[in-house]
Amino acid sequence: MAEDKKDMVKQPAATPAGTERTRARRVFVPRVDIYETSEAIVLLADMPGVDETGVDITLEKNILTLVGQAANGARAGYSLAYAEYDAGDYERAFTISDEVDRERIEATVKNGVLRVVLHKAEAVKARKIAIKAA
């Protein structure tokens, strides 16, 4: 049971060598599920507290970087008595192959879940080969 609980704890993101963070907030690695269809690869990243204005997705060379800045969870007129949820930002990077059509990447965010659709390039889509009688 202890291993299951440890697995559920947010993991802090490492700062890449030679870079500095510009915000004085903790940065976490979001949990991501990856699905593949015949048309695309779909990434679902959990980023609680992040909305469409707080997401930044960049593609440089073959590195797709997801950055989410969570809104401050403080409520006006209340003081925090106890918290089990640690607030912070999110960051995750993926190396993508040439199978992805870089011009057709789409992203949406809803209820703290970022959905990134990486459409496959035409050259790598599976296709049926017709057989002709000789």
Q: What is the structure's pLDDT at 83?
A: 75
The answer to whether the CB of 73 falls within 8 A of the CB of 84 is: no
Tens-digit pLDDT string for the chain (134 aa): 445 444 555 556 555 544 455 666 788 999 999 999 989 999 999 998 888 898 999 999 899 999 998 876 667 888 878 877 777 889 999 999 888 999 999 999 999 899 999 999 887 667 788 888 87
Which pLDDT does position 29 carry in this prediction?
92
The predicted structure's pLDDT at residue 21: 55
Contact (Cβ atoms closer than 8 angstroms) between residue 27 and residue 13:
yes
* Residue-level pLDDT at 124: 62
Please tell me the predicted confidence (pLDDT) of residue 98.
87
Specify the pTM: 0.71
| Per-residue confidence (pLDDT) for residue 5, from 0 to 100 | 47
Predicted local distance difference test score (pLDDT) of residue 30:
92
Residue with tokens 């700062």: 15
pLDDT for 67: 93
CB 90 within 8 A of CB 67: yes
Q: What separation in angstroms does the CA of 45 have from each of 19, 23, 35?
A: 24, 21, 12
Architecture, CATH, for domain 30-74+81-123: Sandwich (2.60)
Pairing type for strands 27-29 and 89-95 reads: parallel
pLDDT the model gives residue 134: 75
Three-state secondary structure readout of 53-113:
HHEEEEEECCEEEEEECCCCCCCCCCCCCCCCCCCCEEEEEEECCCCEEEEEEEEEEECCE
Return the closest-CA partner of residue 56 out of 90, 104, 23: 90
pLDDT for residue 79: 84
- Specify the 3-state DSSP secondary structure of 31: coil
